Amino acid sequence: MKTHLRNVLLGLTLALAAGAASAKDVELLNVSYDPTREFYADVNQRFAAQWKQQSGETLNIRASHGGSGKQARAVIDGLEADVVTLALAADIDAIATNGKLLPTDWQKRLPHNSSPYTSTIVFLVRKGNPKQIRDWGDLVKPGVAVITPNPKTSGGARWNYLAAWAWASQEYRDGDKVVDFLTRLFKNVPVLDTGARGATTTFVERGIGDVLLAWENEALLTLSDADTRAKYEIVVPSLSIKAEPPVAWVDKNIDRHGTRKQAEAYLQFLYSPEGQRLAAKHGYRPSEPDKVPAAELARFPQVKQVTIDTAFGGWKKAQAEHFADGGFFDKIYRPR
Amino acid sequence: MSTLSLPLPLARRGRRPLPGFGLSLGLGLAWLSVVVLLPLAALAIRAAGLGMDGWLRAIQDPRVQASLKLSFSASLVAALVASLAGALVAWVIVRYRFPGRRLLDALVDLPFALPTAVAGIALTAIYSANGWVGRWLEPMGIKIAYTPIGIVIALIFIGLPFAVRTVQPVLEALGHEQEEAAASLGASRLTTLRRVVLPELLPALLTGFSLAFARALGEYGSVIFIAGNLPYKTEIAPLLITIRLEEYDYAGAIAIAALLLAASFVCLLAINAIPSLFAHERKGARRDA
C-alpha cells in the first residue's frame, strides 16, 4: 500500500515536473522565403539542441516559407514572426516602414549588413552548353530563351535583374544602352514565372529555355542530384551581384512574446562556426568564410561581385528606381 | 423536387424544423455578413476611399487596361465554350445510359475540388512544348502554353462544372415527352432543338455562362502557370492585383479588384434576373395561345 502510494506520488511529481518543463517550452517563428526550407530545417534542429544544453529550455522553432514579398506582407498584416529571414533587405524595410514592427536601422544590428550568408546569381544551362552561353552579353542573342521569374513578384528575380544591370552598366557606361540591353534581355524571356521555384520548374521540368538565371544555392541544389548533374551545368558570368539575404528579429513581436533572448541568440547562431558551416553545406556563401574549413568552400568559385550598396545605392533606392510602379522594369515592358 | 414539398404540411401545422423566421434570418444574415459581406464591404469602403479620380487613374494605366482586356476577353471566350461543352456533357449524362456514366458525372465536379494551382501545373505540363499534347501541336506552329489560348483552356477547365451543373437538373426535369411529341408532329431534329429544347434550356445555359464568366474573371491559381505572365501580352488582371500588392500599392490593387468585383456582381445580378425574365415571357406566350 505504502509503495503504491509512493509510486502514485512519484508519478504525480514527474507529471508536474513535465508540466513545468512544457510550460517553459518556448516557441519561435521564423518567417523565411522559399529556397531556405532545407537550410533552416537543419539550423533549427541544431540550434534547439544547443539551446537546450545551454539553458535547459526546450525551443520549438517553426518555419514558414513562401515568396519573400508575400511573407513580408504577411508579417505586416499580423503574422507573428519572431524573426524574419528574407530574400532582400527591401522586404524587411517594408516591414519596418509599413508595419512599424522594427526600427528602420535594423540592418546595422548584426554584422555584414545583417546577412550571415550571401549568394550570387549564376546561369544554369543544358549540359554541354549548346547555345555557348558564357556571359551576360550572350543572353540577348536572337534565339536564346532566358528563364527568370518576374521581379515584381519574386525577390530572387530582382537580384537577377540587378546583376544583369550591373554587368551592362560596366559594359556600356551609358544609361540608354543599359536600358536597351535589359529590354532585349527580357524580350528573350518567354515565361515570367511568379517565383524562383516556378522558374526552375519551367526550365528543368518543362524543358523551356536555354538558360536559367538562378540563385547559386538553388543551382547547387539542383546539381546535387546525379540525374540532373547529367543534364545541366553551371556557368559563372564575368560579373555578378552579391545577393545578401538579410535576417532580423521583429522587436514588436518578440517583446510581446517574451522571446527576445531566444530570437537574438538564434540569429547570432547563424554567425557561429556551426551556423556558417551549415550555410556552406546548403550552398550559401558564408559571410565569415574563415570560420569554415577551406575544403567546404571549394564549391564556390571566385566571382567578381558588385554589392547593392555600391552599385545601386542600397535597396531603398534600387526598389524605387527599378521595381516600383513606373520604374525601369515597367519602362522595359512599355510598348513602343 | 419532391423533397421540397415535404416540409409544407409541417409548416401548415406550425412545426418547422428550424427556429422561427426572425432567428433564422438573423443567423443566416450574420453568417453571410462575417463570411461574405464584411470582406466585400471592406473592399468597397477602401475602393471608395480612392475617389473617382484615383480609381480612374489606376484603371487607365495602359498595363492595367491590357490585362483587363485580356481577362475579360479570355473569360468571355472560356465561358462561351464552357457553356456549350457543358450543355453537351449534361445532355450525355442525362439522356444516355452507358458504362462509366456515374464516373463521368463525378468527374465533372473535380475542378471544384482540385486546388487550382494543381490544375494549372497539370495543364501546363500537358500543353507546353514537350508535354503530351504540346509536343504534337508545337511542330504545327500551334502554341498553347504561355499564350492567351492557354489562359482560355485553364478558364474553360474551371468553368465547365458550372455549366454542366446548371443545365443538368433542367434537362432531367424536361423529359423526352415534348421532343417525342414534336417529332411525331413532323418537326425535324433541328426544329425540335431550336423550338422545343433550347427555349427550356436557355435560362439554365445563361446562368451557367454567367457563373463561369464571373469565376473566370477572378481566377488566379490555375492561370498563372500556363499564362506566361508577360506584361501587355499574357498578364491577367488578378496577377496585376497581386503585383500591385507586391509593390505595397494597396490603392492600385483595390482599384482593379473593385472593377473585377463589380463586373462579377453585375453578372450575378443578371443571373438572378434571367429566370423571372423568361417566366414572364413564357406566361405571355401561354396567354397568346
**Interface pTM, i.e. ipTM:** 0.78
Question: What DSSP line would sit under B167-228, residue for residue?
Answer: HHHHHHHH-SHHHHHHHHTT--HHHIIIIIIHHHHHHHHHHHHHHHHHHHHH--HHHHHHH-
Residue A333's SS3 state is: helix
Give residue for cell 458550372.
B162
Q: Give Cβ neighbours of residue A198 (< 8 Å, ≥ 6 apart).
A: A149, B225
Among A92-106, A183-197, B269-283, whose mean pLDDT is lowest? B269-283
Q: Which of B124, B131, B246 sits opposite A69 (nearest CB)?
A: B246
* Mean confidence (pLDDT) of chain A: 91
Per-residue pLDDT, B15? 66
pLDDT of A311 > 60? The answer is yes
Amino acid at B7: P
pLDDT of A27 > 60? The answer is yes
Q: State the DSSP code for B95.
A: H
Q: Give the model's confidence band at B279: pLDDT under 50 very low, under 70 low, under 90 confident, else very high.
A: low
Give the span between the Cα atoms of A35 and A16, in whole angstroms: 41
Distance linking the first and last C-alpha atoms of chain B: 28
Residue A314, phi then psi, degrees to nearest 5: 90, 165
**Contact, B108 vs B89, CB < 8 A?**
yes
Distances in whole angstroms, Cα of residue A224 to Cα of each of A100, A122, A195, A234, B155: 40, 16, 21, 12, 37
Q: Which of B130, B249, B252 sits opposite A206 (nearest CB)?
A: B130
A129 has a chain B CB within 8 A of its CB: no
Among A271-275, B166-170, B267-271, whose mean pLDDT is lowest? B267-271
Mean pLDDT of B91-95: 93
pLDDT of A200 > 80? The answer is yes
Give the span between the Cα atoms of B18 and B26, in whole angstroms: 12
Mean pLDDT of B27-55: 86
Q: Give the model's confidence band at B278: pLDDT under 50 very low, under 70 low, under 90 confident, else very high.
A: low
| Residues 83-112 in A contacting B (C-alpha not used; CB under 8 Å) | 94, 98
Q: Which of A278, A248, A280, A241 is nearest to A266 (CA)?
A: A248
More confident residue, A92 or A2: A92
- In B63-158, the DSSP E strands lie at none
Q: Which of B113, B116, B142 is nearest to B129 (CA)?
A: B142
Contacts B130 to A, Cβ<8 Å: 206-207
The C-alpha of A208 sits at a distance from chain B's nearest C-alpha, in angstroms, of 7
Bridge-based pairing of strands A211-215 and A146-147 is: parallel
Q: Which of B70, B40, B32 is nearest to B254 (CA)?
A: B40
Among chain A residues, CA nearest to B230: A192
Interface test with B, best of A100, A126, A153 (most B CBs within 10 A): A153
Q: Give the model's confidence band at A266: pLDDT under 50 very low, under 70 low, under 90 confident, else very high.
A: very high
Q: Give the model's confidence band at B288: pLDDT under 50 very low, under 70 low, under 90 confident, else very high.
A: very low
Give the span between the Cα atoms of B75 and B157, in whole angstroms: 11
Q: Which of B129, B239, B249 sits opposite A208 (nearest CB)?
A: B129
Contacts A191 to B, Cβ<8 Å: 146, 228-230
With pLDDT > 90 as the criterion, what percentage of chain B qualifies? Answer: 47
Q: Do B228 and A190 touch (CB under 8 A)?
A: yes
Q: State the DSSP code for A186.
A: H
A163 has a chain B CB within 8 A of its CB: no
The C-alpha of B82 sits at a distance from chain A's nearest C-alpha, in angstroms, of 26
Mean pLDDT of B24-48: 86
Give the span between the Cα atoms of B106 and B113, in whole angstroms: 11
pLDDT of A257 > 50? The answer is yes
**Contact, A46 vs A208, CB < 8 A?**
no
Interface test with A, best of B70, B143, B222, B229 (most A CBs within 10 A): B229
Q: Which of A152, A190, A193 sits opposite B243 (nearest CB)?
A: A152
Per-residue pLDDT, B105? 92
Element (H, E) at A62: strand A59-64
pLDDT of B50 > 90? The answer is no
Cell of residue B182, nine digits: 414534336
Q: Give the model's confidence band at B19: pLDDT under 50 very low, under 70 low, under 90 confident, else very high.
A: confident
**Contact, A160 vs A212, CB < 8 A?**
no
Give the span between the Cα atoms of A33 and A55, in whole angstroms: 29
Q: Which of B225, B230, B248 sits opposite A98 (nearest CB)?
A: B248
Cell of residue A105, nine digits: 536601422
Contacts B62 to A, Cβ<8 Å: 334-335
Q: Give the model's confidence band at B178: pLDDT under 50 very low, under 70 low, under 90 confident, else very high.
A: confident
Q: What is the pTM of this model?
A: 0.82
Give the span between the Cα atoms of A19 and A39, in whole angstroms: 32
Mean pLDDT of A8-37: 69
**Contact, A25 vs A60, CB < 8 A?**
yes
pLDDT of A210 > 90? The answer is yes
Q: Do A335 and B232 touch (CB under 8 A)?
A: yes
Q: Is A264 exposed, middle or buried (CB count within 10 Å of its CB: 0-12, 13-18, 19+)?
A: middle
Q: Do B63 and A330 touch (CB under 8 A)?
A: yes
Other CB atoms within 10 A of residue A119 CB: 28
**Contact, B144 vs B153, CB < 8 A?**
yes
Per-residue pLDDT, A35? 84
Q: Do A152 and B246 touch (CB under 8 A)?
A: yes
- pLDDT per residue as tens digits for the range B102-136: 999 999 998 888 898 899 999 999 998 888 999 99
Angle, CA of B216, B222 and B225, to the nearest 5°? 130
- Chain B residues within 8 A (CB-CB) of chain A? 62-63, 121, 124-125, 128-131, 145-146, 224-225, 228-232, 239, 242-249, 252
Mean pLDDT of A77-81: 93
Among chain A residues, CA nearest to B62: A334
More confident residue, B248 or A206: A206
Contacts B230 to A, Cβ<8 Å: 189, 191-192, 333
Mean pLDDT of A55-74: 92
List of long-range contacts for B275-281, beta carbons under 8 Å, 24+ apart: B275/B203, B275/B207, B277/B203, B278/B202, B278/B203
Per-residue pLDDT, B12? 54
pLDDT of A138 > 80? The answer is yes
pLDDT of A159 > 90? The answer is yes
Q: Do B239 and A193 touch (CB under 8 A)?
A: no
Give the span between the Cα atoms of B189 and B278, in whole angstroms: 24
Give the span between the Cα atoms of A216 and A244, in whole angstroms: 12
With pLDDT > 70 as the criterion, what percentage of chain A qualifies? Answer: 93
